Chain A
Amino acid sequence: MHEIKESSSPAEVERERWEQQTLEPALDKHPERKQSFQTVSLEEVERLYTPADISDLDFNRDISFPGEFPYTRGIHPTGYRGKLWTMRQFAGFSTPEETNTRFKYLLDQGQTGLSVAYDLPTLMGYDADSPLSEGEVGKCGVAVSSLADMEVLFDGIPLEQVTVSQTINAPASVLLAMYLVVAEKQGANWTKISGTLQNDILKEYIAQKEWIYPIKPAMKLVVDTFEFCTERVPRYNPISVSGYHIREAGATAAQELAFTLRDGIEYVAWGVEAGLDIDRFVPRISFFFNAHNDFFEEIAKYRAARRIWAREMKSRFGSNHERTLQMRFHTQTAGVSLTVQQPLNNIVRVAIQALAGVLGGTQSLHTDAYDEALALPTDRAALIALRTQQIIAEETGVVNTVDPLGGSYYLEALTEKMEQTALEYFRKIDAMGGMVAAIEKGFPQREIQDSAYHYQKAVERGEQVIVGVNKYAMTDEPAEVPILVIDESVRTHQLERLEQTRTRRDSGAVANVLEKLKTAARKNENTMPATIDAVRAYATLGEICSALRDVYGIYEEPAF
């Protein structure tokens, strides 16, 4: 008989007994398949989780009920029994006309919200006719250079009724202005429109790298949108703090969680510093996470995210306002996990990742199309992606009860570990002086690069399996799938409209509003009113960003 330590809990005693009586003989007969089992983030996973692994957790303090602090089990007391998540497929390609047609098609198929993907020139604040835009117009998203494009993009789509998410960051305030002016022209009341602007500039410096201005003025533009929306567009979410791109750049699940939430804290701190009332603007801050392959790790990440956010809003900022403490988030399946090889396998990956998002309690979801490792999705691939969500919602039964995996020893232990890892990162970043300072030092960037490299090596050693790539590869692949091709005629089409816009507008008025915008930027006033006036006068995106570049300068990435 082994001696039992005096300090051992009954759960630990039982666990030791099981190990000796049952496990060890079984291991002697059938050794495990490998020495170490790891998540996709290369985190070690134990053989078994028991009550001993969650003995430090207190149900009321750490897990609790849905709709109550710390919201580990979700922000709605009824989960998805009341309202399903919003099925919001990210779409955008080619001309505004083409994307408008895709939007209408998706709405006809039962999609419940829209999400706009802009092309690279738009993301970088260049017009379609800039020499830097050559070869990129309409390729990775829809091309928008002025209000004239935005009018076509939302033609026949009532913005007071449909919520629209816009993936735009460095020039976000300009695209928000265009959106508001289109809504106004439709006769919509700004106080009634809802939707989301990504507007998360910190993750651009960290991961996605579509920046324009240096960090501090870029943060000022973000705070301008917070202030403007709080007063004038109160139902609109002026930011979606995004871990998605951080993860795609190679971060582990815990790094995605830590950096995204610390970014969120940074935005709150800047808003509070600017004199905004925390309980008026923070309730409109939303989040955006990745859904990667490791099922439980992802669910733990979402549950930990809600818990950390609620606790941090309380402990750092002293808020007790329910809506400030409740984290709402969008989820997208992991583009980086999709393979070019045997592309139909991606349908299965996406379904499992989407299920993790749902079991994590996401408010809205985008499911990637199976052909997205090859190109932007075809209609057919986009439809299957939407149907995947509808099958999860209508057929699997996972929506019938709130947080169905809550209480799982493994999941609760993993949720706790996620939280602790994130808090450790918070301590490091706080010690550097906050997230802006940490980014200037290259800290999150280096952490992510290291993780990306270790993951690549683990794949090359065969420790991380990618079906169809480093295992079960086929030399004779099944027939190729059709892909969407965007040709250079898009550029010609866009250049024509841009030319017309420049001819028809009152150029004196444009020069005037651009000068007003520069003055507002120089005086450190809120830039939104002047941006809206510039958009109304049909100043182009490139002209507006160029005016702000004159005042703010441009960002140069340090080498690290």
Chain B
Amino acid sequence: MSNRKIRVLVAKPGLDGHDRGAKVIARALRDAGMEVIYTGLRQTPEMIAAAALQEDVDAVGVSILSGAHNTLCPRIVQLLREKGMNDCLVLVGGIVPQEDLPKLKEQGVAEIFLPGTSTEDIVKFLQANVKPRE
């Protein structure tokens, strides 16, 4: 096992500027010993996938509160896969109606964290699911 720290890209796609959640998560993951890169606001799926590749991250955490998740998330997953990042986990946090959850998972989203989730649960999920690298 390598001692490589888990690397996470926290991303905020779409036009929404509500970044409270994204910033709290970024800080909590850092406090848990992970390396976190925050994209800043209004990133297109293309920009997010490019940043994920460049930063060689293990996971991308996508924060969406605007209702645009069905358009944006599958595209992010698809672009990552096209870049050969098959093990890179895509996590979604934000306001997502129950009925959209199964479809997002089918489209390759690893997990969706809804309002009220503890940051510790997200840390544990990453620790358990990020594939160790050679």
Contacts and interface: CB of A to CB of B under 8 A. Distances in A.
A132 B13 CA distance: 10
B15 A136 contact: yes
B116 A140 contact: no
A133 B68 CA distance: 10
A208 B18 CA distance: 6
B14 interface: yes
B97 A135 contact: no
A79 interface: no
A120 B23 contact: no
Nearest to B70: A135
A201 to B, nearest CB: 13
Contacts of B70: 135
A124 B116 contact: no
Nearest to B19: A209
Given A209-B19, A453-B24, A136 B14 contact: yes
B120 A460 contact: yes
B98 A480 contact: yes
A140 B16 contact: yes
Given A139-B68, A375-B67, A486-B67, A133 B24 contact: no
A557 B115 contact: no
Contact of A121 (B15, B20, B120): B15
A375 B114 CA distance: 13
A80 interface: no
A466 B116 contact: yes
A211 to B, nearest CB: 8
Interface residues of B, number: 30
A65 interface: no
B132 interface: no
B33 interface: no
Interface in A331-361: 336, 339-341
A135 B28 CA distance: 29
Contact of B14 (A135, A449, A469, A480): A135
B114 A340 contact: yes
A179 interface: no
A209 B68 CA distance: 18
12 contacts: A120-B66, A135-B72, A136-B14, A136-B15, A208-B17, A210-B17, A249-B19, A340-B95, A340-B116, A453-B24, A456-B28, A460-B118
Given A374-B95, A480-B98, A485-B97, 11 more contacts: A120-B15, A124-B15, A126-B15, A132-B42, A209-B41, A339-B115, A340-B114, A341-B116, A375-B95, A449-B24, A460-B120
